[in-house]
Copies of this chain bind each other. A is one copy, B any other.
Amino acid sequence: MPKKVAVIGLGSMGYGIAQSILAAGHQTFGFDVVAAQMHRFRAEGGAEGAREDIAATLDAVAVVVLNAAQTEDVLFGPQGVVPRMAPGSVVMACATVPPAFAREMAARCAEHHVHYLDAPISGGAVKAAQGALTIMASGTAEAFAAAAEMLDATSEKVFRLGDAAGAGSAMKAVNQLLAGVHIATMAEAMTFGMTQGVPPETFMEVIPSCAGNSWMLENRGPHIVDGDYTPRSAVNIWPKDLGIVLDIARDAQFSAPMTATALAQYEAAAGMGLGGEDDAAVAKVYARMAGLALPGEAS
């Protein structure tokens, strides 16, 4: 049955999610601080209406913003949707946030009889637009049931990680730890190889069939070989996401030296003015320190 859905946050991930929900036949509103993104989505068939006017009529809200602060503002800020939403409706929260924050949001939603699905996403902008994300979800059976059509429309794989908010966000943090460290390590290994006469394209020919391979190496390595730093996912994601990991780690008194070291490399990249480039640009930190010219750079 077609649902009435709002997607709040129309960045690269949120826009793809809104498109996927719209394509599945649901009445879909798209909201963003950038008005041009809202107009673009309406031109593609998005529904018309002000957020505060339509909130009470929604079956579901997907929140695809940058972090916990923006999520809280969208849900409970001055224009917050949750106090306006109908009992039995659901919030599907997709940002990378600390597990404790997800638990707090779920409890506050419950006070308004609104379900909360802790639903961080993985897969990138291309898969978001294809409705083929991986979702690491946790929440009550009622939250899963209320969000079923949105999960169907947006994902190719849903991991059901438990019956309470927090477990999804915990797994997302674990995944981001690995993904962020692996990109920095790929950059370190590729540039290290260059100092020993291994060209980046040979690296990419050999390593994917060796024990040193990673998902991120195969995904991001070609960006360096091609000298193409168009941001599929930007450097600036990592100070945020690895910062979340280290915030959680500190609260748990957990020592995470690999994460902390990778974070320092992304911070260096941002400090060099590369924050808006593709995250493979962390290789430029290594290259500039070692006096190497990456593909596409003048030597």
Binding site for B on A (CB under 8 A): 99, 122-124, 134, 136, 157, 159, 161, 166-167, 170-171, 173-179, 181-182, 184-186, 188-193, 195-198, 202-203, 205-207, 209-217, 219, 245, 248-249, 252-259, 261-262, 264-265, 286, 289-290
Closest-CB distance, A269 to chain B (whole angstroms): 13
A205 to B213, CA, bound (A): 19
Residues of B close to A181: CB separation below 8 A: 181, 185, 188, 258
User: Which residue from B136, B192, B213, B253 sits with its C-beta under 8 Å from A249?
Assistant: B192
Cross-chain contact B215 with A174 (CB below 8 angstroms): no
Which residues of chain B are within 8 angstroms of A190 by Cβ–Cβ distance? 174
Interchain CB contact (< 8 A) of A248 among B134, B159, B196, B207: B196
Q: Decide: A258 and B252 in contact? CB cutoff 8 A.
A: no
**Neighbouring B residues of A193 by C-beta, 8 Å:** 170-171, 173-174
Contact check, A157 vs B123: say whether CB atoms are below 8 A apart.
no
Question: Assuming A212-B179, A213-B214, is B255 touching A136 (CB within 8 A)?
Answer: no
Residue among A170, A192, A217 with the highest chain B CB neighbour number at 10 A: A192
Cβ-defined contact, A188 with B197, below 8 A? no
A184 to chain B, nearest CB (A): 6
**A193 CA / B213 CA spacing, docked (Å):** 22
- Asked if residues A211 and B202 are in contact (CB atoms below 8 Å), the reply is no
In the complex, chain B residues whose CB is within 8 Å of the CB of A211: 122-124, 175, 178-179, 215-216, 219
Q: Which residues of B contact A248 (CB under 8 A)?
A: 192, 195-196
Q: Which of B99, B205, B249, B290 contacts A255 (CB 8 A)?
A: B290
What is the CA–CA distance of A123 and B212 in the complex, to the nearest angstrom? 10
Tell me how far the C-beta of A125 lies from the nearest C-beta in chain B, rounded to whole angstroms.
13
Contact: A206 with B171, CB < 8 Å?
Answer: yes
User: Given contacts A212-B182, A258-B185, A265-B257, are A252 and B195 in contact (CB under 8 A)?
Assistant: yes
Taking a contact as CB atoms under 8 Å apart, the answer to whether A258 and B210 are in contact is no
Q: Which residues of B contact A99 (CB under 8 A)?
A: 196-197
Contact yes or no, B188 A185, CB < 8 A: no
The listed residue (B175, B182, B289) touching A182 by CB distance below 8 A is B182
Closest Cβ of chain B: how far from A17's Cβ, in Å?
17
Q: Is the CB of A166 within 8 A of B197?
A: yes
Q: B265–A174 contact, CB under 8 A?
A: no
Do A217 and B262 touch across chains, with their CB atoms under 8 A apart?
Answer: no
- A22 → B minimal CB distance (Å): 26
